[in-house]
Amino acid sequence: MKLNAKELRTVDEDDIQEEAKNLKRHPIYFILENVYDTYNIGGLFRLADAIGVSKMYLCGQMEIPPNSKIKKASIGTYKIVPWEYKKTAKEAIEELKTHPSNSPLERGGKGCVQIIAVEQNEKSIPYTQINYSFPVALILGNETFGVTKETLALADHIAEIPMWGINKSLNVIVSAAIVSYHVMGKK
């Protein structure tokens, strides 16, 4: 089943839940940390649906559905993408590391989810040079301050997107799309 934007916006959440359970999910997770802009959150739901993430964690100081701006920007994909709010990104990481069986895509139940922060940092390496393994979680941070130092310390790798112009960074949705489609190409 494929729905256009109008259909996604108007589909009843209860009606689509059964259909959503049957969608193919990939062994990739998004952990959003303190993403303030509700349009970015909605756009990340659209991206998460497009690549079939297993789950999206909304963490820290941020709005959650059914916020009207998230609903609008997500064109209704918040109804389809499995998501959960956690007080901190650390809680989401701990859940993924200790309870991989929560996912239908577990790998032996050994807490082997690879954690990748998408961030500019002195310890970062180009996103194309990381040896990705599945399942994998991408941490995406605040539009101004990025991923917190505490959360960066929990990551297996810090992935950076090269910037050759005067601008220091990309929009969080663009960054997430670049890295997640690259990761999916490794599957």
Residue 163's H or E segment, with its range, is none
pTM: predicted TM-score of the whole model, two decimal places = 0.89
What pLDDT score was predicted for residue 109? 44
Q: State how far the alpha carbon of 123 is from the alpha carbons of 131, 155, 156, in Å.
A: 16, 11, 11
Residues in contact with 39: Cβ distance below 8 Å, sequence separation at least 6, in sequence order: 69, 72, 73
pLDDT at residue 119 in the model: 96
pLDDT > 70: percent of the chain: 90
Q: Write down all domains in the chain, each with its CATH number in brackets.
A: 23-185 (3.40.1280.10)
Task: Count Cβ atoms below 10 Å from residue 117 Cβ, excluding itself.
Answer: 28
